[in-house]
Structures are given as C-alpha cells and as structure tokens.
Amino acid sequence: MREFTDDLGNVVVLPSEVRRVVSIVPSLTESIAATHEHLLVGATDWCTHPTHLDVTRVRGTKNPDLDVIETLAPDVVIANAEENRVVDLDALRASGFAVWTTSPTTLDESLDSLERMLSAITGALPEWLRQARDVWSTPYAGKRRRAVVPIWRRPWMALGRDTFAGDLLSRIGVDNVFAESGERYPRIDPDALPAYDLVVLPDEPYAFSPDDGPEAFTQPAKCVSGRHLTWYGPSLVEARDLLTRQLA
C-alpha cells in the first residue's frame, strides 16, 4: 500500500497498482479517461466526455448512488470539494474506500492537482497535461476587458472570488468584475451592475444561449463553452484558443 495526500490534506491510501476507479466529477472523469480509460469502472450521469465512455453510471455529483459505488469495489473514488457533498465522501470513507478530493481555484493549482492525482493513480504523466502547461505558459499582453460572468438565472448568480473559471479568463485578458466579492457565486441584479465591457455566458451549469441570457444585459454578450471555461483536464489544451475566439 502507498500513502498520498490530496488537495485537502487528507491521507489517501492506495494499493501498489490502482485497477478500479470511480469518478464523481465530470472533468476528472475525462482526465482519467484521456490517460488510462481502462481504469474507470464508474462515473456520474453528468460525465459526458469522452462521449463513448462505457462504464456503470452512479447517478449525479450531488446524489451519487453509494450502494452502486460499493458494488463496483473501487480502489479509489475521485471527488471534488465543491462539486461533491462532504456527507457522501465521509460515507464512502466510513465504508472503507479511499477518496481523493481535489479543490483547485486557479489554473496553476488545477495543473498541479491533476499532476499529483494522475501520478498517484497511473504512475505517469499524460502528454495532454504537458501540452496544457505549455499552452497556458505564455502571459497575456493585449487589451484587457471587464466582464460579468453569470452562471445561473432565476435567481441570477455570477462568478465571484477565487474561482478557477475567473482565473482562466484573466489569463486571456478578461477580468471578472466580481473577483473581489465576498462570495464565490454572488447573486446579481442585471440592472444594477458595476461598470463592465462584456458578458460571458457559458452553457453550463445553466444552459445560456444566444436566445437565453444576452437580452438581460446592456453590454455585448458572448456565449462560450462551459466545458472549456469550467473544466480542468484535457479540455485545457484547446481552451485558450477556443475561448479567445468565442470572446473576440
């Protein structure tokens, strides 16, 4: 057996060779699948990438079916501090399962977190992770813009402080106007916003679209890929170029 430390400082005990992994985080499911797909035996209903993934589904990120996970007998369950509930992760640990929890809030933290997790599980680093580091290594040097980044409506909510997506946008010249908010996802009023240049509308978690969202704001709105804005994993290789084009 081997001992590791996850992002929260929890000791995670893994066998000498990990053979069975359940992931209850869509971006981490994609990360593991793009590295060693054969290790995955379970994933949530929301784990949509890769599209061909054929594993047992364990319901959602907020309500995983713990009984089904137990029958899969994973060597480790991969989770995230924000996406998954503490009560579910504690229940899995109490049942004797190793749980690896991630919690990055910046791009650099996400790359380091992925490196630690994948090294522990697979014993090697994938080429896509090296490519992602290279893609994002060049600082942005162009004109900067201020943006509102809604993530929900009814009620309206937006990116606030300490978010991965906010940090990602800042690296392509888009500064979140609520970056100094006291909350990570504050409620907002579209009619009473600080000065901003544009609105960034991802298609998840709320499915904003050209017909649902832009009409609420006075400044130009750009619809972007939520997967490329909020997921950390293989999507980071193409995210910089894609988001830059979508926000042009």
One domain for residues 157 and 237: yes
Classify residue 110: in a domain, yes or no: yes
Query: In this structure, is residue 172 part of a structural domain?
Result: yes
Pairing state of beta strands 145-148 and 76-80?
Answer: unpaired
Q: What was the pLDDT predicted at 124?
A: 83
- 133 lies in some domain: no
Regarding whether 26 and 120 lie in a shared domain, the answer is: yes
Structure tokens, 116: 């630690």
Judge contact between 114 and 232, C-beta under 8 A. Answer: yes
Residue 197 shares a structural domain with residue 111: no
Q: What CATH number corresponds to the domain at position 18?
A: 3.40.50.1980
What is the C-alpha separation between 184 and 157, in angstroms, rounded?
10
Rounded Cα gap, residues 136 and 124, in angstroms: 21
Q: How many CB atoms lie within 10 A of CB 217?
A: 17
131 lies in a domain?
no
- Could you say which of 125, 160, 185 is where a domain stops? 125
Answer yes or no: is 213 within a domain.
yes
| In a domain? residue 135 | no
pTM comes to 0.93
pLDDT at 123: 87
- pLDDT mean by block of 10 residues, the chain; 248 residues: 95 97 98 96 96 97 98 98 97 98 97 97 93 97 97 97 97 98 97 97 97 97 98 97 98
Residue 158 within any structural domain of the chain: yes
Amino acid at 27: S
Shared domain check, 161 and 57: no
Spatial distance between the Cα atoms of 62 and 218, rounded to a whole number of angstroms: 35
Q: How many CB atoms lie within 10 A of CB 40?
A: 22
Both 172 and 242 in a single domain? Answer: yes
Chain centre to alpha carbon of residue 15: 26
Domain match, 118 and 160 both: no
Number of domains comprising the chain: 2
152 occurs within a structural domain: yes
Q: Are residues 93 and 150 in the same domain?
A: no
Mark whether 98 and 10 lie in a shared domain.
Answer: yes
Range of the domain at 174: 145-246
**40 and 102 belong to one structural domain:** yes
Judgement on whether residues 197 and 237 belong to the same structural domain of the protein: yes
> Residue 186 has what pLDDT?
98
Indicate whether 12 and 72 sit together in one domain: yes
Final residue of a structural domain among 58, 92, 125:
125
Q: Are strands 21-23 and 11-14 parallel, antiparallel or unpaired?
A: unpaired
Shared domain check, 101 and 13:
yes
